[in-house]
């Protein structure tokens, strides 16, 4: 009988990756980033453990949405008090807080439990091209699956 391999905490090797979101399709970018955060790109992937890497996303304000989502996709928030429902479109959010667009898309593709919250903390998103994580020596990550669709739209 074979036993399931479960990596030890000391065996998990975490890397840092930087992704330039300029011109990439939002959904495909978020799916790829969520997969890396979970560690699905590694042979040591275990569904119930955090075996993934850290991901830095730069140029989040230049991410591409297909179709008419810029005006039709709406983000809702509610404080729980009567009359406190707030709604904003992607265009409004891009002006106010562009990094939150990518964060929300990646959050939607992570598990909704303790593990998902822990994975989400390993995501760093910045609106512009600069980030303060040079000391971690992040490797530039090319996401061809996210570029394919965005290139055909242009």
Work out the mean pLDDT of the chain and round it to a whole number: 92
What is the rounded CA–CA span in Å between residue 42 and residue 83? 47
pTM summary value: 0.89
Q: What is the pLDDT of residue 2?
A: 82
Q: Which of 125, 142, 140, 145 is nearest to 62 (CA)?
A: 125
Task: Write out the two tokens for 142.
Answer: 């090319």
Domains and CATH numbers, the chain: 15-64+98-153 (3.90.1180.10)
- Backbone φ and ψ for 55, nearest 5 degrees, come out as -130, 130
Q: What is the pLDDT of residue 3?
A: 83
**Taking residues 104-122, what's their average pLDDT?**
97
Q: Which of 107, 6, 7, 94 is nearest to 55 (CA)?
A: 107
pLDDT confidence bin for 114, thresholds 50/70/90:
very high
What is the rounded CA–CA span in Å between residue 141 and residue 154? 22
Q: Report yes or no: 17 and 130 within 8 Å, Cβ to Cβ.
A: no
Round to the nearest angstrom and report the end-to-end CA distance of the chain: 53
For 73-106, write each residue's pLDDT tens digit. Answer: 999 999 999 999 999 999 999 999 999 999 999 9
């Amino acid at each position: 009988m074979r036993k399931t391999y479960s990596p030890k905490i000391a065996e998990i090797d975490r890397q840092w990756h930087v992704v330039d979101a300029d011109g990439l399709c939002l959904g495909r970018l978020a799916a790829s980033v969520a997969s890396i955060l979970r560690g699905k790109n590694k042979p040591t992937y275990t569904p119930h453990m955090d075996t993934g890497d850290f991901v830095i996303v730069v140029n989040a304000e230049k991410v591409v949405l297909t179709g008419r989502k810029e005006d039709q996709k709406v983000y809702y928030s509610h404080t729980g008090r009567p009359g406190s429902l707030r709604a904003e479109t992607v265009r409004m959010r891009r002006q106010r807080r562009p990094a939150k667009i990518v964060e929300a898309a990646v959050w939607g593709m992570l598990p909704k439990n303790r593990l998902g919250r822990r994975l989400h903390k390993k995501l760093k998103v910045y609106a512009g091209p600069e980030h303060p994580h040079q000391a971690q020596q992040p490797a530039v990550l090319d996401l061809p699956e996210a570029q394919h669709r965005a290139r055909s739209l242009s």
